[in-house]
Structure 1
Amino acid sequence: MSVHFLTGAGSGIGAALAARLHARGDDLILLARSEARAAELGERFPGARTVVADLAAPGEMAAALAAQELPTRLDSLLHVAGVVDLGPVAHLTVEKWISQLEVNLVAPAELTRLLLPALRAAKGQVLFVNSGAGLRAAPEWAAYAASKHGLKALAESLRAEEAAHGVRVSSVYPGRTATAMQERVHEQEGQPYEPAHFIDPESVVTSILTVLDLPRDAQIPDLTIRPGV
């Protein structure tokens, strides 16, 4: 039975991924930003463990994790959580730059650092759910795309560093997916939101499970997913 540490299980792709892993009997450790969210996740995924730490405060993560019981072996660390705030560079505030960089890039780097010993012990896998914006930046997406381009660099460096320890590192780059985040993006863009026009989160999860379940004689470093139409 595999043990997975997952961020972003409260909604969207993360919730769908947690549900699929839970349904097949894998052990889950779910990151929650508060005790209230931890209780919600515990009710939704019976038997899953929760760890309380706020991705928006990466400098406090080491202390938060040190105060909680964590496994000595992890089969995977799944970075799914993220935030987005659009706007032209001329109008983006320092606060919006910092918040996106902290949650989307600095926190995943710090969480990975803290959990690497357990991942090495299991010869596990780190998987980053990136974005199409991690490959190409569009107008008004500068801050979010910068955080995701940075996440791509993090994954590439980590992959080279951890190969000797048997840790696989993968990035998945979904196109626009029908999630609450996508609805928020459309609000910011001033566009109507039609979920049927975008990738179903379950399709993204199927691709993630393909990456995770690949036999150990191979790996999928990068996987790009786009809408079928």
Structure 2
Amino acid sequence: MTAHLITGAGSGIGAKVTERLAERGDELWLLARDAGRAKELERRFAGARTVVGDLANPEKLSWALSHQELPDRLDSLLHIAGVVELGGIGELTPKAWNAQLAANLVAPAELTRLLLPQLRAARGHVVFVNSGAGLRANAQWGAYAASKHGLKALADSLRAEEHDSGVRVTSVYPGRTATSMQADVHRQEGKAYDESRWIDPGSVATTVLTALDLPRDAEITDLSVRPGR
């Protein structure tokens, strides 16, 4: 059975990807930040297994995972969780910078490091759901964009390093998507939120699955997804 470990399964793009993979009967391992969240995910996705680890504290992931059951092999590791806090360079504090770098960059790097043996065993696939901010940085988005530019660099380096082991690496760069994070971004921007203007999370999920389902003789490295309205 095909096995996947997914971060951010509780909402937005992550939830849609998880739903699609569950419908296919795949084996799901869902990362939860705490035991309470793990129980919520288990109730929502019947048959899925959970792993507890807080992406806000990447230095503790190794200890946390060493005390839990993990799959013997992984066909994919899907990095979908993320956080955002807007603000000008002259305003953002080190706390704001560190929070976004930890969850959006350092934690994906550490989780990948810890699970590489299982990915190599399956000649698996690592997918980073990045952001349009991973390709360009706008005013007020400096810290978030820095974390996502770093995530692109992580993916590119990993791809080069793991090519001979058969591990594929894909970065997906969605534009604004109708998720709870997007609603929060609009709140931070002081703008009214109209989800009909933005990409449906299911459309991004389709993009992720397209990369996963590509035959083994090819690899999608980078995919940009933009609102069609």
Q: Does 1:224 align with 2:224?
A: yes
Q: Does 1:21 align with 2:42?
A: no
Q: Distance in 2 between matches of 1:28 and 1:84?
A: 26
Q: Distance in 1 between matches of 2:205 and 2:20?
A: 8
| Runs of at least 4 residues off by over 2 Å | none
Aligned residue number for residue 47 of structure 1:
47
Aligned residue-pair number: 229
How far off is 1:72 after superposition? 1.5
Q: Distance in 1 between matches of 2:58 and 2:72?
A: 21
How far off is 1:12 after superposition? 0.6
Q: Distance in 1 between matches of 2:196 and 2:208?
A: 21
Q: Distance in 1 between matches of 2:23 and 2:38?
A: 19
Q: How does 1:54-65 map to 2 (within 5 A)?
A: 54-65=54-65
Aligned residue number for residue 37 of structure 1:
37
Q: Distance in 1 between matches of 2:152 and 2:172?
A: 10
State the identity as a percent: 67
TM-score norm. by structure 2 comes to 0.99
Q: Tell me, which stretches of 5 or more residues in structure 1 are unaligned?
A: none
How far off is 1:193 after superposition? 0.2
Aligned residue number for residue 113 of structure 2:
113
Q: Does 1:156 align with 2:130?
A: no
How far off is 1:169 after superposition? 0.3
How far off is 1:176 after superposition? 0.2
Q: Deviations over 1:12-38 (max 9, x none)?
A: 100111011111101100000000000
Q: Distance in 2 between matches of 1:124 and 1:94?
A: 36
Aligned residue number for residue 10 of structure 2:
10
Q: Distance in 1 between matches of 2:92 and 2:63?
A: 31
Q: How does 1:113-192 map to 2 (within 5 A)?
A: 113-192=113-192
Q: Distance in 1 between matches of 2:150 and 2:113?
A: 16
Q: Distance in 1 between matches of 2:116 and 2:97?
A: 27
Q: Distance in 1 between matches of 2:201 and 2:2?
A: 22
TM-score norm. by structure 1 comes to 0.99
Q: Tell me, which stretches of 5 or more residues in structure 2 are unaligned?
A: none
